[in-house]
Amino acid sequence: MEIKAVVSDIVNIKAGAIIVNHFEGRKHPEGDTAAVDKALDGAISQLIKQGDIKGKLNEITLLHSLGKLPASRIVVSGLGKKNELTVNRVRSATAETCRWLRQKGVTSVASVAQGAGINHINLEEATKAVTEGALLGLYTFRRYITKKEDNAGEIKELMIVGSEKEKPRIERATTRGRILSEAASWARDLVNEPSNYMTPERMAEAARQLAKDYGLSVEVLEREQMAEAGMGALLGVSQGSQQPPKFIILSYKGSDSNEVDIALAGKGITFDSGGISIKPSQGMADMKGDMAGGAAVLAALIALAQLKPKINVTALVPATENLPSGTALKPGDILTAMNGKTIEVLNTDAEGRLILADALCYAKKLGAKSIIDVATLTGACRAALGTVCTGAFSNNQELANRIIAAGNETGELIWLLPMYDEYKEQLKSDIADIKNIGGRYGGAITAAKFLAEFINDTPWVHLDIAGTSETDKEKGYLVKGATGVPVRTLVNLVLSMAK
């Protein structure tokens, strides 16, 4: 879809549909909506008066111009109560409206910068939100569907209308919104792929293609190199699969320094059966998405390569399957991680923390100044926080505050959970340095405490995206399947740190 800034008034735009808005509780149309209402001889005012347009969030009302405007259709998008308007509500309402218009076969859409000037939302923020809402909300994954979608067109053009003076700011914001949305959509694609296609090797190939397309550097460690590096935890998880594991290192260099300012480690389990501690069959098909963290950290570098902040970032993805077989890791086995720490494996379905242990050790070896890891790590985090927000765990309050703020800006909500030392007691082993599960209670926290054993004092945040990496229904700019969380948050964090 082409997104462009157009110098004009919304009433003069020729398009399949134009989008204006209305706020809940307001008795008369305002701003650009009032100008459209006037051209329609008060049709919008009449519908408000009748109660057919209430302005509730994500409400969509269609009017036909009948030749009174160059655009054939007018959509009044509800933005909720004016004093409660946020950038994320603009993003969400735009997505819902664009999806609705696509079902109507509309191919060309024009919109004002929804919400600009309200509740301290500036023009760039509003424009970026409209751009992201349209691109993320219209995302589809139909690669393996041979039948064409019924009654669905394709929106090929989105025009964002403003003045001559506003045009450069609108263009900058649409560019940034597109970069962030396309990066998140790339991650969605990877996660939505079936695991017979998205193997560790294919994931490594995807990283190599990114390096080629965006001028990044890439290295992929093979099994022998992992063994030489001492990555016993990753190799232990991989030994049940016939697919060879890959350790992906993708780097963006934005400064003259040779130091790694930020390492982004992402869990890359391309399919998780649970191993010998096998999962229930119900819902196991969704375990193709257990590499969502790995996809997110790779995708973040797509955006960074285009936005070019002056900072060095390396993404690390330990990629493997977790399967049961005659060679698979068994409960009771002991593994040795890259830093020499021994791990008693009591549950082979707690494998994400094992492969991340070696990734975090590798980040430490690189001398990373800060480390963020992203993983669909625990059902316990989903049980605690549901699907609304990502769980965060950290040894550094400043870094945690930064990533929470970055998430608030993108609408990818994050909640910080405790990391008290008392939780570490649950990980004590009688025969090794540490065990890989901590019992029934506080599972998300004990998993984070396990990871902390491989961090020491480096500023670090662990993001558990088990509840937010996928959704089973359309809502706002999220569509059924992979969400692309937390790609845009990671990019925002890096940009804030680069400043």
The catalytic site residues sit at: 279, 353
- The residues, ordered by sequence, that sit 6+ positions from 436 with a Cβ below 8 Å of its Cβ are 343, 344, 345, 346, 347, 350, 353, 354, 450
3-state secondary structure of 253: strand
CA torsion sign for 98, 95, 473, 279 is: positive
| CA-to-CA dists, residue 72 to 10, 78, 149, 379, angstroms | 13, 20, 24, 49
Cα 182 from Cα 265, distance rounded (Å): 21
- Of 338, 448, 313, 321, nearest in space to 391 by CA: 448
- Of 356, 375, 381, nearest in space to 443 by CA: 381
Cα 120 from Cα 101, distance rounded (Å): 29
Query: 158 has which bridge partners?
Result: 3, 109
- The residues, ordered by sequence, that sit 6+ positions from 372 with a Cβ below 8 Å of its Cβ are 262, 263, 264, 265, 297, 403, 460, 461, 462, 463, 490, 493
Q: Is the peptide bond before 200 cis (omega within 30 degrees of 0)?
A: no
* Burial call 409-423: b when 16+ CB within 10 Å, e when fewer: bbbbbbeebebeeeb
Size of the chain in residues: 499
| CA-to-CA dists, residue 489 to 19, 32, 412, 422, 437, angstroms | 28, 32, 7, 30, 29
CA torsion sign for 370, 375, 380, 382 is: positive
Query: 319 has which bridge partners?
Result: 246, 268
Cα 56 from Cα 61, distance rounded (Å): 11
Count Cα neighbours of 69 within 13 Å in the Cβ-side half-sphere. 28
Distance of CA 208 to the CA centre of its chain: 21
Are the C-beta atoms of 13 and 159 separated by less than 8 Å?
Answer: yes
